[in-house]
Structure 1
Amino acid sequence: MVQLGSNVGRTALTWRHVDLAMLAAFLPGVVLGALAAAWLLVRLPGGVLELCIATFVLFTCWGPGLPQRALGRGGVLVAGAVTTLLSSLVGASGPMVAAFIKQSQFGRLAKVATFSACMLLQHLTKAFVFGVAGFVFRDWLPLMLVMVSAGFLGTWLGLRLLHRLSDHRFDTLFKWALTLLALRLLWLGGQRLLGH
């Protein structure tokens, strides 16, 4: 819910830069991924999903890039479904969505705005799935409100900094942030796989 609140704030502050065509293609995938997560009975061994996500993120940051077809409407739908499913199982889809958005959007504001809108959709469906599963949000409401408010303040400050960065500088920082997140996922996945 805190991530949902943060992405609502970020999307609200950058809505003019959201790629609506990409969002429209991403939404059906999000719904399919959430439905699959709600009914999924078989899970991979602990750690495998994290390793797969980390590998994808590192490939999109340092590899030759995704083929143009993968960035089209069908590819965006599949990305929405797969990342939402993974998000519901391991809660680590943000780096994967960011890596996908990084290759499909041009300009730092479009990347941040479209990423935030896509994550907003994912977190909204996750909130619905967990609510149906019995999570009582009301019990956590005061803490969530404080955290969402702090997240909005962080978003506002971050966007002020973003406006001062060049696209090149942003892309470099974004690439390294994704790389560090992927390396962390590799570490966590390896630990879980080895049973530590």
Structure 2
Amino acid sequence: MVQTGSNVGRVALTWRHVDRTVIAAFLPGVVLGALAAAWLLVRLPAGLLELSIAAFVLYSCWGPGLPKRALGRVGVLLAGALTTLLSSLVGASGPMVAAFIKQGQSDRLAKVATFSACMSAQHLTKAFVFGMAGFVFRDWLGLMLAMVASGFIGTWLGLRLLRRLSEHRFDTLFKWALTLLALRLVWLGVSRLAG
């Protein structure tokens, strides 16, 4: 819920930059992925999923890039479904969604706004799934609201900094941040597979 609040706040502050065509293609995939996660009975080992996500992120950052076809409507729909499914299983889809959005957006504000809109949709579906599973949000409402408020302040400060960065500088920082997240996933995946 805190991630939902942070991403919704970021969308509210950058809504003019959201790529609505990406969102229109991503949302049906989010619904499909959430439905699949809700009914999935067989689960792959967590370490394998984390290594797969890390490989995709590293390829997206350092490889030749995704083919144009992957960035079209069908590719975005499949990305929405797959990342939502993975998010529900291991909770680590943020770097994967960011790497995917990075490939299709050239403007730093569009990257941040579109990523935040995609993640808002994913986190809302997870809240629904966890609510159906019995999580009582009311018991944690005060803490969630305080964390969302502090996250909004951080978002506001971060966007002020973002507007001062050049596109090149942002791309470099974004690429390295995703790489560090992917390397962390590699570490977690190997640790879990090793037992």
Q: Deviations over 1:116-171 (max 9, x none)?
A: 00000000111011111111000111110110001000000000000000000000
Aligned equivalent of 2:18: 18
Corresponding residue for residue 116 of structure 1: 116
- 1:41-190 equivalent positions in 2, closer than 5 A: 41-190=41-190
Counterpart of 1:151 in structure 2: which amino acid? G
Number of positions where the alignment pairs a residue of Structure 1 with one of Structure 2: 195
SS in 2 for 1:92: coil
Dislocated runs of 4+, deviation >3 Å:
none
| Aligned-CA RMSD value | 0.4
Q: Which amino acid aligns with 1:168?
A: H
| TM-score under structure 1 length normalisation | 0.99
Task: Percent identity, please.
Answer: 83
Q: Counterparts of 1:30 and 1:99 in 2: how far apart (Å)?
A: 17
Q: Which amino acid aligns with 1:123?
A: H
Which residue identity lines up with residue 157 of structure 1 in the other structure?
L
Structure 1, unaligned stretches of length 5 or more? none
Deviations 1:9-54 (A, max 9, x none): 0000000000001000000000000000000000112300000000
Q: Distance in 2 between matches of 1:122 and 1:84?
A: 6
Amino acid at match of 2:103: Q
> Aligned to 1:151, what secondary structure does the other structure show?
helix
Gaps of 5+ in 2: none
Aligned equivalents of 2:8, 2:138: Cα separation in 1 = 19
Alignment correspondent of 1:31: 31
TM-score scaled by structure 2?
A: 0.99
